[in-house]
Structure 1
Amino acid sequence: MDDQTLRRAVNATLMPGFQGPDLPAWLAAELAEGLGSVCLFSTNIVDGDQLRSLTDAIHATNPAALVATDEEGGDVTRLHHRAGSPYPSMAFLGHLDDEAVTEQVGWGIGNGLRAAGIDLNLAPVADVNSNPRNPVIGVRSFGADAGLVGRHVAAYTRGLQAAGAAACAKHFPGHGDTATDSHLALPTIGVDAATLAGRELAPFRAAVDAGTLAVMTSHILVPAIDPDLPATLSAPVLSLLRGQLGFAGAIVSDALDMAGASGGGRGIPEAAVMALAAGCDLLCIGTDNTAGQLAGIREHVLAAVRDGRLPEDRLLDAAARVGDLARAVAALPRNDRSPGSHVPDPRAESRPEGTPHLSPAGFWLGDPVHPLTAPVFLRLSSTANIAAGDTAWGVADHLAGELADRLPGSTCVDAADLTELAGVLDAAAGRPLVVQGRDLARVPFLVDATAMVLQRRPDALVVELGWPELPGAIGIATYGSGRGAATCLIRLLAEGSR
């Protein structure tokens, strides 16, 4: 086969990211040469008009190219990174356990993506969060029960694709039973093949049955299937998706710049070759790629084809599946009416169409909540995982309008260490105190800070915004720290539980 055809085939399998709000000249040139996809991150998004101009420019340069992003809802949002997502996390939806609401959320997110010119949503998360100390999945998962997760993965997928945006269930074969972040290292899931099939694979089967157009791999080691290579680079693991689950769509790699894929001296170009050889079709490269880096990856893949390490047929098959995905996205019927109904909130005119009125029924309450007057909202410094990135979270000054409306006289403060916390506690004496943190039982500082709060202020209301470990010192678990959960918490504290 001629060199130009092979080059375009390699281009079709690549999905880089870039910095800034405008389409760089180098990326426009790659799109003109058949680049298969571009992944957008928070650094690419300023506002709705700018985002639509950017996606229009990408599609004008290559109408077949897919624009992708991670818009899970809850803690992981790109479109709403400045103010926080108005949609609930998947853990909130799983705890609420109303599939109609989950489908409605999927539709609302998909509707917003299509309005922004985005084709492929790297969601839903199909991981069963069976390890409560998981540092990277947590509230991104619908729950710890495989059956529940599968039902809601299917509902979210139906809603998302009914709105015209493609779903991509992740992170195959399941990142939930891990205690390591694959952005930073290579996690291992130490279960036998039977447990893997009955627990980890079940939600992905539900996604396939619901018609998901794509599935994303994970950079985790599954010794029961392949003791040597992470799932993204493992043909035996990915063959489970094609064979056991019968998935015929596009397999998308998680970002190859993550340590779980390219660490240990392997490098991104070699990880790209191995991922394609294992069965991946579309390669997520990273968040900040360059023309030189992309050219180096392409040349390395071409060299692997020439020397026989990557079969030419496998490369062409991967490129064809990406083309099929683009055509399937274009053919998605767009349902302009949201499934189901929701109770309107007259105070939330700015909510995107399709956003459900979040009910505290999705929270866990240790005891009845009584209305508060002019509380102090204390956020304990809680670093977000890399997947979520830096975005507004919890109840803080970015929600000043909602607080003035619902809880006038409230004060928002932060504490990043125990000394700072002691000063906040002194200043808050005599006022209701609401303490917030993410993963209070997992992060050492948060464990110590919570103990200090309850020793000095046993009346404080402790709110877990991350994955809760119940029971304990927690008074409320919101199953997420996004804007939707935070405004729902404000309403609960203003009105009390009923």
Structure 2
Amino acid sequence: MSHDPALERLANATLLVPFESHHAPRWILEGLADGISGVCLFHNNLDTPEQVAALNARLSEAADTPLISLDEEGGDVTRIGQAHGSDYPGNAALGAVDDTDLTRRTLRSLGGRLAELGLNLDLAPTVDVNVADDNPVIGTRSFGSDPELVARHSAAAVLGLQEAGVAACAKHFPGHGATSQDSHLTLPRVEADADLLHRRELLPFRAAVDAGARSVLTAHIEMPGLGVEGPATLAPHVLNELLRGELGFTGVVVSDAVEMQGLSGRIGIPEAAVRAVSAGCDLLCLGRFVYADRVEQVRAALVAAVREGQLPGERLEEAAARNAELRAWIRSRAALRAAAAEDTEVGLAGARRALRVDGVLPRWADPCVVEVDAPAGMAVGEVPWGLAPWFPGTERVSPDTAHAERLLAAAQGRGLVVVVRDAHRYPQARGLVERLLAERPDAVVVEMGLPVWRPACGAHVSTYGAARVNGLGAAELLGGAVGAAARG
């Protein structure tokens, strides 16, 4: 097959690729020079702020304004806060406060932090309406379960990020909030009719589009109510008639990670990439582990699909042009990013305002603090959470009632604080908490996920998220050691 540099460059223009290390490998730098639109950074690429800034400066030298992106939602899903947790409350906390000015200022400040590090595209905000309590992938990433509330905060988040010169990306279109499965692992299905989907799922996306969101990220979910079988990412009707036609979106449609099982599990990554571009995706987020050889397979599949008539060349040109327009918009906002400033107070202030207390908090000088472990979702990854930084001696235990006797003995003569995360989703965690409360009904329960389950206890604290600032806010209430060293 003959080599066609122009066609290969067009295929490259649809790619947002990951890589392996803290330094940009040669294949990435050469790929950016050969037209790859940009990169998506994950935990494995990020270390100190100085390293991240140096990496992004090197990436920026390889091409004219490549897209340098990541999933930085604040709250539970943080890449730049991986080591200690985020300095910003997530969407659930902002939704609990319900102050759109706070949301806008929070995201503007977060955008300022990203801009300072050399990032220019944030795959945020999550604008899904979380109506399924057992949703394993959205939860605290959502502003809430009320479409109107989610819509107004989605618009505020988009405005805030983009005021810092960082392109926003509303996700996961057409709405991942009513699922009880994780599209990283399978293809979730939303059973709702078209009228409900328009009133609920689509309302925040309409608000984000109207606020000027430069990009929208698709969901690998089935919505038969929209007349579509299979992933929405591969549905021309969803991406073209609905998103572009009905909602009037003119920016870049980004696929959720192509390597996720909900999209490519049955057909493989190269074929999924071809079908996604054919359906209307402009930019393919290839995921966490799609490195050089597999990127080459995707590029080759796109080129072959055009040559064989499976993918119209005009569709590839259209996608490349939209991605070039996004890069031009980012280039035009260089002065905004240079001037963007982080508000070091807004994150903790928002987390404090989100706190909710049921009951009367006791004044314990030295409580026994127990954290009941909960698995991190795939979108979250391994990020520290809990109250341990402010309560020396805190113990993290598995959700097993076998720990109860020992924990009760340790708490004898002391106050008892039990910290959980989304306890409503984990029967074993609830079992352990109830066993502890049977002996210690005066205990304080701190819920760092969604406060769906509220046991009878001395006092119940809801943080609406597990970011570092959520933990610090709760620790302040409970009298933890929150001096200068703990705040650092």
- Would you say same fold, with TM above 0.5? yes
Which residue matches 1:344? none
Flag the 1:16–1:422 CA change in 2: closer, same or farther, 3 A.
farther
- For residues 119-138 of structure 1, what are the structure 2 equivalents within 5 Å? 119-138=120-139
Which residue matches 1:279? 280
Dislocated runs of 4+, deviation >3 Å: 335-339, 351-356, 358-361, 470-474
**Cα distance in 1, alignment partners of residues 117 and 53 from structure 2:** 5
Equivalent residues of 1:103, 1:158 under 8 A apart? yes
TM-score under structure 2 normalisation? 0.93
1:357 maps to which of 339, 349, 358:
349
Matched, 1:456 2:457: no
1:482 maps to which of 464, 467, 472:
467
Equivalent residues of 1:415, 1:421 under 8 A apart? no
Question: How far does residue 449 in structure 1 lie from its aligned partner after superposition?
Answer: 1.7
Alpha-carbon displacement from aligned partner over 1:274-332 (angstroms, at most 9, x marks no partner) = 10011000101111222111111111111111111111100110111111111112223
Question: How far does residue 246 in structure 1 lie from its aligned partner after superposition?
Answer: 0.2
Which residue matches 1:347? none
1:418 maps to which of 390, 401, 407:
401
- For residues 138-157 of structure 1, what are the structure 2 equivalents within 5 Å? 138-157=139-158
**Cα distance in 2, alignment partners of residues 356 and 161 from structure 1:** 22
Alpha-carbon displacement from aligned partner over 1:147-189 (angstroms, at most 9, x marks no partner) = 0001111111111110111100000000000000100111011
**Cα distance in 2, alignment partners of residues 324 and 425 from structure 1:** 61
**Cα distance in 1, alignment partners of residues 465 and 3 from structure 2:** 52
1:113 maps to a residue whose letter is: L
2:247 maps to a residue whose letter is: L
Which residue matches 1:381? 373
Structure 1 unaligned residues grouped into runs of 5+: 340-350, 404-409
**Cα distance in 1, alignment partners of residues 217 and 184 from structure 2:** 15
The residue matched to 1:256 in structure 2 has which SS? Answer: coil
Which residue matches 1:235? 236
Equivalent residues of 1:378, 1:435 under 8 A apart? yes
Question: How far does residue 378 in structure 1 lie from its aligned partner after superposition?
Answer: 1.0
Equivalent residues of 1:91, 1:142 under 8 A apart? yes
User: Identity of paired residues, percent?
Assistant: 42
1:491 maps to which of 463, 472, 476:
476
Matched, 1:469 2:452: yes
- For residues 55-94 of structure 1, what are the structure 2 equivalents within 5 Å? 55-94=56-95
2:411 maps to which of 412, 428, 434:
428
Equivalent residues of 2:416, 2:444 under 8 A apart? yes
Alpha-carbon displacement from aligned partner over 1:167-225 (angstroms, at most 9, x marks no partner) = 00000000000000100111011111111111100000110111110000010001112
Alpha-carbon displacement from aligned partner over 1:333-375 (angstroms, at most 9, x marks no partner) = 6274779xxxxxxxxxxx8475452353312221132333111
Which residue matches 1:366? 358
Which residue matches 2:336? 334
Equivalent residues of 1:364, 1:478 under 8 A apart? yes
**Cα distance in 1, alignment partners of residues 279 and 30 from structure 2:** 29
1:260 maps to a residue whose letter is: G
TM-score under structure 1 normalisation? 0.91
Question: What is the root-mean-square deviation in Å for CA atoms of aligned residues?
Answer: 1.8
The residue matched to 1:377 in structure 2 has which SS? Answer: strand
Flag the 1:86–1:325 CA change in 2: closer, same or farther, 3 A.
same
Equivalent residues of 1:108, 1:353 under 8 A apart? no
Question: How far does residue 471 in structure 1 lie from its aligned partner after superposition?
Answer: 4.5
| More displaced 10-residue stretch of structure 1: 113-122 or 443-452 | 443-452
2:420 maps to which of 437, 456, 476:
437
Which residue matches 1:258? 260
2:384 maps to a residue whose letter is: A
Equivalent residues of 1:104, 1:356 under 8 A apart? no
The residue matched to 2:288 in structure 1 has which SS? Answer: coil
**Cα distance in 1, alignment partners of residues 298 and 404 from structure 2:** 48
Flag the 1:201–1:382 CA change in 2: closer, same or farther, 3 A.
same
